Amino acid sequence: MFALGLIGLLVRRNILFILMSTEVMLNAAGLAFIVAGARWGAADGQVMFFFILGLAAAEVSVGLALVLRMHHQYRSLDADLLSRMRG
């Protein structure tokens, strides 16, 4: 799933899709943690997932706010437009 999320992030140009792919990747990472926790029978994996979740939430809210700003400015969601920091 992580690999899929990575593919999605690299391929799609739409910002939203990139964000969605990022979520997928986070989720996948969390899944890995849970599995590890389940393996050892410890609660730590779940705790980790808990944190990841919180992080994902925060990241999504800020990211979406930025997407909105971008849309307002560029009237487009093309990620490649955000290349003013190119060398």
Shortest gap between Cβ of 29 and other proteins (angstroms)?
A: 11
Nearest Cα to 83, choosing from 1, 15, 24, 25?
Answer: 15
Shortest gap between Cβ of 60 and other proteins (angstroms)?
A: 5
Phi, psi angle pair for 37, to nearest 5°? -60, -40
Shortest gap between Cβ of 4 and other proteins (angstroms)?
A: 5
Q: Could you give the CA distance from residue 36 to residue 2 in angstroms, rounded to a whole number?
A: 16
